[in-house]
Structure 1
């Protein structure tokens, strides 16, 4: 695989963002729960700046996306990044785009001085659980939330392509 190119989404990309959201919802068997619209995405992601989106690109075409936002830990005393969604189109899987997106978000967190990166994963999604654990992420006791912090966050960030 060639080095992965990334780009941040712009307001003109709300249709693409919604396309990827619907794709992950279908994969997670939750399509009926998607109520967002392009107008809502425009408002909350771009006008209110409540989240950020990066795309993984192949030959100028978006093949995967990650949507994330900042949270805050009172215990750590710093902001963190919450990875809401990461998704690669089925026809582009097994090419390293998922790892590239994940480590790129970890790199963003590390560069911004974040204390940790967290996300949730469906209990039945063993391929994703195995993927996250391969970076050193651990489930939180009593939760299905995963975390990279400290050395594991730095290690994941170090795997990102510059």
Structure 2
């Protein structure tokens, strides 16, 4: 997909292997914005393997005047209630100097098109509670918060311990 958008000089394309370094750069820029840079342990090698060898996720890149200015990383999850796959957006990022031009909305529109073309039931993502600008943006697009759900996570030592429960 190489998608011209309604925004002059803005195109969206699927990432290729040569974009691995750029994807990591965008991930780190997003982590700085979210005050989570210390949690980024991804490397170019890990991303390359995950995205282009194992194909565990996909990335679209937004380019303005031919220069990369944002990305969205997504993958399929599955709804048992719908009986079909959905798109799950892990991260969407537009560089600060490019915000307010509609580029983020165009990236969301591209994701919606991918979801429709793949017969997905919905597009899901998380947002940090403190991120009011993004929350307002999402609601303006018609997104609804899933306030009645709580996200849970098992990681690190707890994940390791849980995995060994079968052995005991």
Alignment counterpart, residue 11 of structure 1, candidates 11, 17, 33: 17
Distance 1:57 1:93, change over 3 A: same
Secondary structure of residue in 2 paired with 1:53: strand
Q: Which protein has greater RCO, CA pairs closer than 8 Å, 6+ apart? A: 1
Q: What is aligned with 1:76? A: 82
TM-score (norm 1): 0.86
Residues matched between the structures, number: 145
**Partners of 1:144 and 1:9 in 2: how far apart?**
32
In the TM superposition, residue 144 of structure 1 has moved relative to its aligned partner by: 6.8
Q: What is aligned with 1:97? A: 103
Is the strand fraction higher in 1 or 2? 1
Q: What is aligned with 1:135? A: 141
Where structure 1 has 5 or more consecutive residues not aligned to the other structure, the ranges are 146-162
Distance 1:103 1:15, change over 3 A: same
Q: What is aligned with 1:43? A: 49
Tell me which structure has the larger Cα radius of gyration: 2
Moved over 4 A (4+): none
Q: What is aligned with 1:54? A: 60
Give the aligned CA root-mean-square deviation in angstroms.
Answer: 1.3
The answer to whether the 8 A contact 1:120-1:144 is kept is no
Secondary structure of residue in 2 paired with 1:109: helix
Counterpart check, 1:121 vs 2:108:
no
Q: Deviations over 1:4-54 (max 9, x none)?
A: 211111111110000000011000000000000000000001100011101
Query: Counterparts of 1:136-155 in structure 2 under 5 Å?
Result: 136-143=142-149
Where structure 2 has 5 or more consecutive residues not aligned to the other structure, the ranges are 1-6, 152-168
**Partners of 1:96 and 1:126 in 2: how far apart?**
17
